[in-house]
Structure 1
Amino acid sequence: MRATRLDAALARRHTEDGAWAGNLVDGYLAAAATATPDAVAVVDRERSWSYGDLDGAVNRLASALRARGVGPGEVVSWMLPNRVEALIVHHAAIRLGTVSNPIIPIYRHHETRFILRQARSAVMVVPDEFRGFDYPQMVADIRDDLPELRTVVVVGASGPAADMAFEDLLDEGRPDPVPTPGRDADDIVLLLYTSGTTSSPKGALHSHNTLDHENRSIIELYGLSGADVVFMPSPVGHIIGVLYGMQLPAMLGIPVVLLDVWEPGRALQLIAAHRCSFTVAATPFLAGLVRHPSLDEIDVSALRVFACGGADVPPDLVRSATDALGCTVSRGYGSTEYPTATGSNTTDDLVKRSRTDGRPIGRTEIRLETDGELLVRGPEMFLGYLDPALNDDAFTADGWFRTGDLARTDADGYVEITGRKKDIIIRGGENISAKEIEDQLFEHPAVADVAVVATPDAVLGERVCAVVVPTPGRAVTLDDLVAWLTARRIARQKLPERLVLLDDLPRNASGKVQKFRLRDLVASSQPVPS
């Protein structure tokens, strides 16, 4: 798999200025296993794994997959919660020279089928069950549409829908280092899908070099060292979890403490028990800690940095969390395509940390278009989409990435995101395509017209609201719409949580729905003026 936007000039520029150091992502894990094999690498559900244990498991899985014919350039997809098996699969895929393709566990048949087909995945790894959902059965339901999927691996109790149990596959491999000649730091190692303004998810491509630069810039920004402990409640199927939960800890030889199901009381206990000092997570995670009644009774004094992003972060929350947690709480801005463009640290005062999304970090360059759209460029930027047809709209002719977000900068160079050109809803840090939901609801027989917009929410930032014009003579209820989408196996977080009925949708002269008016309506609960 090659990135269409990686050329010799780009590689030479970033290499010559030291931004791309030529490090292999999995090389840090191997080095930590050699230097400190008994040091704790992962804490998962009360069990600790050493660096020696983790690296040995990665080698075993990589060698077992190789023996089964999985080779360089192929895609290993996995849909796993925050558990040690996710780290093993991710690093094994990279060590083998294949491409790691995390898929968030909240996706269902509709999204999973699209990703596996487009990625032409050779292997799929799923849990036997997570939060009451049968993942092997889902893959079995869609497998006839996936001619290139050769092996389905199940973590946990395997059944008839699985080709192989994860533990059995590990037993087939060897713990010795897996030589994979010909690997290069410009190789694509991560295919991560993000949902934006289009109906279908978009597969973003990252190399060893882009991911490595991002993490080195974060280590520098927050002054991370071998004394830190990472707490990771963000899904490891997200760019946040991939970078800071699965890759950054090995770079420093430090532990990562995983939490697979978010519960703020449990999170506080883990932070206290393991003296966690650093985390990156979305607004609902921060709000959950601050508002939990047991916070005053639990010692979280080791926590020194909570970097918050992925959704709008209210200034009051940053201020109250700074006081309640006694640590540096900062807003940041990034995406799957450009993981961290802006951020702030202890050198930035509380006013800047609470009211802005920080300043450009590392070698990041930013530019504002005349309409206020933020453009970014730098060595951690992704190398294009798997579908090259998407690149034309995503990049300018001179290589800037169009974020689709509107921003302004202050006199000191701090960036504040003010809105989005992309028609997405950010619910608890999850990007949800409004168009995807609209496309499904348009087919409902009682729906004559529909627009999906965000409705503000104090906890999750935004929730999904369906604005519907009913078919004449038909009644529409929220339960009807939810049932319709559920039957089509749409991910649960995309289901509308509010319904507004109108006689007509407001449109401009060209017929485009004026969503800004609908957002104002939803926020104010007042009728849309004619």
Structure 2
Amino acid sequence: MQTEPLISLDPSWPKVTLPQAEALLTPAGSKFEIETVDIRGVPTRTWKNAPPSLAWLIQASRAHGENVFTVYEDERVTFEANYRAVAHLATKLQEMGVVAGDRVALAMRNLPEWPVIFFAAASIGAIVVPLNAWWTAGELEYGIDDSGARLLFVDDERYQRFVEAKPALPALEKMIVARASGTLEGRAERLEDLIGTPHDYASLPDIPFPQVAIAPDDDATIFYTSGTTGNPKGALGTHRNLMTNILSGGYAGARAMLRRGEAVPDPIPRTMLIVIPLFHVTACSASLMGVIATGSKVIFMRKWDVIRAMELIESEKVNVTGGVPTIAWQLIEHPERHKYDLSSIEAIAYGGAPSAPELVRRIHEEFGALPGNGWGMTETMATVTSHSAEDYLNRPTSAGPPVAVADLKIMDDDGVTEMPVGEVGELWARGPMIVKGYWNKPEATAETFVDGWVRTGDLARLDDEGFLFVVDRAKDMIIRGGENIYSSEVENVLYAHPAVTDCALIGIPHRTLGEEPAAVVHLAPGMEASEAELQAWVRSKLAVFKTPVAIRFVAETLPRNANGKILKKDLKALFEDRVGVPA
């Protein structure tokens, strides 16, 4: 069911259809020209003008010269300084014997060193393994062992975690520590002894950049999934996967301009506040690659703090921020927001988690900014669909249409039958952003990746114009007495209540019905609502069987993983008293 537009749009909008926009943007000789290439035996539409590799991109970024690239507290690193640091570290890695195909792991906060390490390793053909910095030492040990990493780069916090746990890590040859606070042990050495601190990068000598032959479909990264059962799987990505996002992001922006009837301008540098971890593809692939390509400035925070974020938006004149919906909600709801000049914000974009239509409306009304979201996953190296501007305001429950080089289809449970328009089934995606498979897991790869398509595990539908509507994760759908309840539908209704700022719907076991819906809610500062009030609110808008049988209120926003997804399994304990309660 289509949600009503959130604002009154110009009756003449859209000026062009999606197929017309694609035809205008992708002709031969254009920036967004499309060509078909063979990728692992599958003819695949690709962006002809996408950079061929991470090495090419970082060398080309030198053209941005003294433009500031990264800002972290009092450290400001220009593109030229960053390039020099990458060249030096890549050379040092070669001197250590790192060759193409070797795995180099990276576990640290968002710091200026992070992109230096990432590009230095990738530029000499190594496979970079960005590990979840939130993981315990045991979880990090799994990622290092599973990937077979020879080297590990960490910050001091991760180093101390290893020192305390003393994991075996027999295959790891060396640990290189950034910002170490004390004496290092055993196989560890300081990153600063190799390339200095970020303050030193600009004064590093100009040396030749290592030249290694790298093809677009060569291995580049292993990003680990945020799986909720069993060990995470390493998604093996290519240089093409990451470079695709640069053109996909540009195409989506240009498409929105054409839909509005405006000319497409040349890209100009923007200032972005990235507050989600770089070890997630949304930050690394969908955000950082575009920042580098356009010569934009990126600001890092040690950890998310809404007051500090508003200070940075004001002082740095931030144009774009977001990451996950929670961040946007906190900016909107904070009682001290009026104390800060946030007028530079042009867009608040997010992915990785569904968002409520109410959030879309409030971003537009209260910031005068354009909301943006999209759909992707670790296995797609981020962007497959993109949704912004009037299209998003017109379809606030959609994740947008696919970019021109991607295909989507909705499949029945049998994995063979394609569902008709409007019907819900499993979402499958195809395009040059789809990763090769899972590292060292051939059975899981064969099950998930089929003839160029990735089976996403998301339940979704497509409308007659190709807009994607993700209704739930297959494993999160609640089946109450044979009736399907999609959590996002109920959550969107709860979010529309003025007192609700964070919520999740989960299934709790029931003896005869199988399971029932229950909700966990975090209220906005200074607001009140009772369980009965919210149940009546849902009941007035949805079928009675979708109404939460119980609602628990929590003082803090809901627990999330680093990708922004709510950890619903952690919430089930709140309803232990309800298990088996008769309907």
**TM-score, structure 1 length as denominator?**
0.76
The alpha-carbon deviation at position 122 of structure 1 amounts to 0.8
The alpha-carbon deviation at position 12 of structure 1 amounts to 7.9
- 1:282 aligns with 324
- 1:121 aligns with 149
- 2:59 aligns with 30
Which structure 2 residues correspond to residues 389-468 of structure 1 after superposition, within 5 A?
389-396=443-450, 398-422=451-475, 456-458=520-522
Distance 2:299 2:342 in 1: 14
- Please tell me the residue identity of whatever aligns with 2:170: P
Which structure 2 residues correspond to residues 1-400 of structure 1 after superposition, within 5 A?
9-10=38-39, 18-19=47-48, 21=50, 23-33=52-62, 35-129=63-157, 135-140=158-163, 145-156=168-179, 157-161=181-185, 163-170=188-195, 175-223=206-254, 225-338=267-380, 339-348=382-391, 350-352=393-395, 354-371=396-413, 372-386=425-439, 387-396=441-450, 398-400=451-453
Distance 1:17 1:61, change over 3 A: closer
Distance 1:457 1:191, change over 3 A: farther
Distance 2:392 2:142 in 1: 45
The alpha-carbon deviation at position 112 of structure 1 amounts to 0.9
Distance 1:188 1:148, change over 3 A: same
Secondary structure of the 1:337 match is: helix
Secondary structure of the 1:332 match is: strand
Task: For residues 70-110 of structure 1, give each alpha carbon's deviation from its aligned partner in whole angstroms, at most 9, with x where no partner exists.
Answer: 22211111111111011111111111221111112110123
The alpha-carbon deviation at position 459 of structure 1 amounts to 8.0
- Please tell me the residue identity of whatever aligns with 1:278: V
- In the alignment, is the contact (CA less than 8 A) between 2:427 and 2:456 conserved in 1? yes
Further displaced range: 217-226 or 77-86 = 217-226
Secondary structure of the 2:172 match is: coil
Distance 1:83 1:144 in 2: 25
Distance 1:244 1:380 in 2: 11
- In the alignment, is the contact (CA less than 8 A) between 1:408 and 1:416 conserved in 2? yes
Distance 2:45 2:567 in 1: 44
- 1:508 aligns with none
The alpha-carbon deviation at position 257 of structure 1 amounts to 1.4
Distance 2:475 2:208 in 1: 45
Distance 1:76 1:20 in 2: 28
Distance 1:459 1:310, change over 3 A: farther
Distance 1:143 1:149, change over 3 A: farther
- In the alignment, is the contact (CA less than 8 A) between 1:41 and 1:256 conserved in 2? yes
Secondary structure of the 2:375 match is: coil
The alpha-carbon deviation at position 272 of structure 1 amounts to 2.2
- Please tell me the residue identity of whatever aligns with 1:102: P
The alpha-carbon deviation at position 117 of structure 1 amounts to 0.5
Distance 1:15 1:411 in 2: 24
Task: For residues 410-466 of structure 1, give each alpha carbon's deviation from its aligned partner in whole angstroms, at most 9, with x where no partner exists.
Answer: 33322111111246999xxxxxxx9xxxxxxxxxxxxxxxx9x99644489xxxxxx
- In the alignment, is the contact (CA less than 8 A) between 2:274 and 2:322 conserved in 1? yes
Distance 1:529 1:177 in 2: 73
- In the alignment, is the contact (CA less than 8 A) between 1:158 and 1:164 conserved in 2? no
The answer to whether residue 573 in structure 2 is matched with residue 499 in structure 1 is yes
The alpha-carbon deviation at position 25 of structure 1 amounts to 1.7
- In the alignment, is the contact (CA less than 8 A) between 1:59 and 1:174 conserved in 2? no
Which sections of structure 1, spanning at least 5 residues, go unmatched?
A: 1-7, 130-134, 427-433, 435-450, 461-491, 503-521
- Please tell me the residue identity of whatever aligns with 2:349: A
Secondary structure of the 1:265 match is: helix
Distance 2:457 2:44 in 1: 28
Distance 2:518 2:275 in 1: 25
- Please tell me the residue identity of whatever aligns with 1:226: I
Distance 1:395 1:222, change over 3 A: same
Distance 1:140 1:261 in 2: 23
Which sections of structure 2, spanning at least 5 residues, go unmatched?
A: 1-36, 198-203, 255-265, 414-424, 478-486, 489-505, 507-514, 525-565
- 2:33 aligns with none
Task: Name the Cα RMSD after superposition.
Answer: 3.2
Task: For residues 305-343 of structure 1, give each alpha carbon's deviation from its aligned partner in whole angstroms, at most 9, with x where no partner exists.
Answer: 222221121111111122122111123211011112222
- In the alignment, is the contact (CA less than 8 A) between 1:197 and 1:422 conserved in 2? no
- In the alignment, is the contact (CA less than 8 A) between 2:101 and 2:125 conserved in 1? yes
Task: For residues 364-397 of structure 1, give each alpha carbon's deviation from its aligned partner in whole angstroms, at most 9, with x where no partner exists.
Answer: 111111251111111111111112221111023x
Distance 2:430 2:120 in 1: 30
The alpha-carbon deviation at position 206 of structure 1 amounts to 1.2
Distance 1:328 1:260 in 2: 26
Distance 1:41 1:219, change over 3 A: same
Secondary structure of the 2:378 match is: coil
Secondary structure of the 2:224 match is: strand
Distance 1:42 1:111 in 2: 29
The alpha-carbon deviation at position 195 of structure 1 amounts to 2.2
How much identity, in percent, do the aligned residues show?
Answer: 26
Distance 1:148 1:459, change over 3 A: farther
Distance 1:328 1:149 in 2: 46
- 2:547 aligns with none
Distance 1:315 1:493, change over 3 A: closer
Distance 1:25 1:239 in 2: 15
**TM-score, structure 2 length as denominator?**
0.69
- Please tell me the residue identity of whatever aligns with 1:169: L
How many pairs does the alignment contain? Answer: 440
- Please tell me the residue identity of whatever aligns with 2:253: Y
